[in-house]
Copies of this chain bind each other. A is one copy, B any other.
Amino acid sequence: MVKKTGRPGYLQIADELREQIRSGSIAPGEPLPSTAQLAETFGASLSVVKMSVGLLRNEGLVVGQQGKGVFVREDAPPADDVRAELTALRAAVADLTSRLERLERGASPRSAKS
């Protein structure tokens, strides 16, 4: 598709996918079509599709799982209390970072308890 408006293709595709997600056309928990499928559907190259999906991923609308697909996030987009989520995220990042550094720093991965 990618109409020949001034809007770049990767934004048009991202818009379209965003709309399909917002409208429930692709429900939370469900996967997007594969990048190859999207490329064919939109008549675009793999590269622009990957850029589009990357955008949505960056926005937190979807999460990608290597080898499986890209899934619409279950939890709805946080609209109002932005600051609360910000605080929570800062804490989460701090926690994850410390755990990760310890692990990546030569701690035997095998000793990681389940």
Contact = CB atoms under 8 A, between A and B. Distances in A.
A90 interface: yes
Interface of A, secondary structure class, is helix
A98 to B, nearest CB: 8
A83 B59 CA distance: 10
B94 A93 contact: no
Please tell me the size bucket of the interface on A: 35 or more
A59 B82 contact: no
Contacts of A57: 91, 94
Contact of A93 (B55, B93, B104): B93
A106 B50 CA distance: 29
Interface in A80-114: 82-83, 85-87, 89-94, 96-97, 99-100, 103-112, 114
A109 B106 contact: yes
Nearest to A61: B90
Contacts of A79: 82
Q: Which of A5, A58, A86, A108 has the most CB of B within 10 A?
A: A58
Interface of A: 5-6, 55, 57-60, 63, 79, 82-83, 85-87, 89-94, 96-97, 99-100, 103-112, 114
